[in-house]
Structures are given as structure tokens and as C-alpha cells.
């Protein structure tokens, strides 16, 4: 698993289905993983995932508890994703944002923001 990083109060532009991306042949989806850095526990985070190329889906995963703490498909308007969650003290370095598409075999450019 190749992991990228995104800090709080920043935006990353990347490509789903780009070189080195994870592809799961059982679901037909590409995935990009981001560890969220500079997290302050107890303060709500808002994550936005926008693309003009594909219908986005966004998951938030807590690697400490091994649980998904959030999922959104179209909460960001049109086919874009947006969700909020409040990081728990002690798990502030354990949160991952997982970028993928709603349907299979989708690729293209996107922006992910954490605020
Ligand atoms: Ca969507």
C-alpha cells in the first residue's frame, strides 16, 4: 500500500488511476490512501473530495481502531464528496482518507482538501 500524506488546512491535487495507484480487481476500483497529518484531537475536520472526471467516493479510516469513521458519496454537491468527523485524542495520527470512485473502472483528476 503506497500512502500519501495530507496535512490539515491543505489541498492535494492528484490522479486516481495514476502510476502506482492501488487497483482492486474484485471491486474494479482504484484507491488512493492519504494519512492525515497535523491533526488536533477534539477539533472537527472537514474533508472535501472534488473531481470533474469521475463520481467520487470518500472514506475515513481509523487505523488504530481498524474502523471506518466516515463515508460519503455525493455530500459535496453534484457527484462530489464531503464529510466531517472529530478526531479522538490518542488516535490523531491514525486517520486515513481513502479516495475512490462511486462506480468501477473510474479514473481521473481530483482535489482533496482537509480543513
Ligand atoms: Ca460521488
**Domains in the chain, please, with CATH?**
3-114 (2.60.120)
Cα of 94 from ligand 1 centre, angstroms: 24
Q: Residue 20's pLDDT is what?
A: 74
Give yes or no for a contact between 11 and 111, defined as CB atoms under 8 angstroms apart: yes
Cα of 101 from ligand 1 centre, angstroms: 7
Cα of 54 from ligand 1 centre, angstroms: 8
Cα of 39 from ligand 1 centre, angstroms: 25
Cα of 16 from ligand 1 centre, angstroms: 14
Phi, psi of 32, rounded to the nearest 5 degrees: -120, 130
User: pLDDT tens track of the chain, all 115 residues?
Assistant: 567 999 999 999 999 998 778 899 999 999 999 999 999 999 999 999 999 999 999 999 999 999 999 999 999 999 999 999 999 999 999 999 999 999 999 999 999 999 9
Terminal Cα-to-Cα distance of the chain (whole angstroms): 25
Cα of 90 from ligand 1 centre, angstroms: 31
Cα of 55 from ligand 1 centre, angstroms: 4
Cα of 106 from ligand 1 centre, angstroms: 11
Q: How far is CA 40 from CA 46, 85, 112, in A?
A: 13, 12, 19
Q: Is 14 exposed, middle or buried (0-12, 13-18, 19+ CB in 10 A)?
A: middle
Amino acid at each position: 500500500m503506497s500512502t500519501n500524506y495530507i496535512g490539515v488546512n491543505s489541498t492535494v491535487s492528484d490522479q486516481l488511476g495514476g502510476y502506482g495507484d492501488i487497483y482492486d480487481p474484485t471491486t474494479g476500483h482504484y484507491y488512493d490512501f492519504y494519512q492525515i497529518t497535523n491533526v488536533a484531537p477534539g477539533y472537527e475536520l472537514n474533508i472535501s473530495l472534488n473531481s470533474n472526471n469521475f463520481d467520487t467516493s470518500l472514506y475515513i479510516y481509523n487505523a488504530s481502531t481498524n474502523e471506518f469513521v466516515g463515508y460519503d458519496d455525493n455530500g459535496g454537491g453534484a457527484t462530489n464528496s464531503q464529510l466531517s468527523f472529530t478526531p479522538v485524542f490518542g488516535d490523531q495520527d491514525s486517520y486515513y482518507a481513502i479516495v475512490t470512485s462511486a462506480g468501477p473502472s473510474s479514473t481521473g483528476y481530483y482535489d482533496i482538501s482537509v480543513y
